[in-house]
Chains A and B, each alone.
Chain A
Amino acid sequence: QKEVEQDPGPLSVPEGAIVSLNCTYSNSAFQYFMWYRQYSRKGPELLMYTYSSGNKEDGRFTAQVDKSSKYISLFIRDSQPSDSATYLCAQGPDSWGKLQFGAGTQVVVTP
């Protein structure tokens, strides 16, 4: 079993819709949970991170962590075609900074 599970999608939504992405994790030792965004033919880049449980909002993006159910979520409000990318959840870091990534969910926002 992978430490971080994520539905690979693809997830197709119309412009303006809310995108909901989810991951589950098995290792409770790590306190930080991240979302990375990866555009086609590019490397992943950090979108946002949360510490322990709770919500964090950054513009149209909201990240949630529910440690009781080991669930990580990312919501994108008022989705735009420019949000079309693969979104990877991750948890960590270990003592040397390593992160465990989910497989990534491909999101397509259609105009």
Chain B
Amino acid sequence: DSGVTQTPKHLITATGQRVTLRCSPRSGDLSVYWYQQSLDQGLQFLIQYYNGEERAKGNILERFSAQQFPDLHSELNLSSLELGDSALYFCASSVVGSGGAPGELFFGEGSRLTVL
């Protein structure tokens, strides 16, 4: 158990809909990262938050947004869903700059999104 909790584990929805994925980081971790994993693209970095502030953006579509709340949990919002958005969405957390292996990210078990 990595200590990172993601909900829901599975989600099936229709094109055009909107969903929210939730992540609770490990206790004490200030950084939260969102990654998308699909068969053809591998693990793609979407966005990172540190202590409530956005720190880095990757290949995140404009239809997607995220935020990190004062209690450090994070939500990833996906809107106007398309078939191609079907993927595993992972949240990871880390203590940036101290402890553990350099750059070690602790991943949740992912949220599997299926868009029909």
Contacts and interface: CB of A to CB of B under 8 A. Distances in A.
Interface of A: 6, 8, 32, 34, 41-46, 49, 51, 88, 90, 92-94, 96-104
B28 interface: no
A6 B42 CA distance: 10
Contact of B107 (A6, A45, A51): A45
Interface string B32-46: 010100000111010
Given A98-B48, A102-B42, 5 more contacts: A44-B43, A44-B105, A46-B105, A49-B101, A101-B45
Q: Please provide the 8 A-B residue pairs with the shortest distance between their CB atoms, ordered closest to farther.
A: A103-B42, A43-B107, A93-B103, A97-B96, A101-B43, A96-B55, A92-B103, A32-B102
Nearest to A41: B109
B103 A49 contact: yes
Contacts of A94: 56
Band of interface residues on B? 20 to 34
Nearest to B50: A96
B96 to A, nearest CB: 4
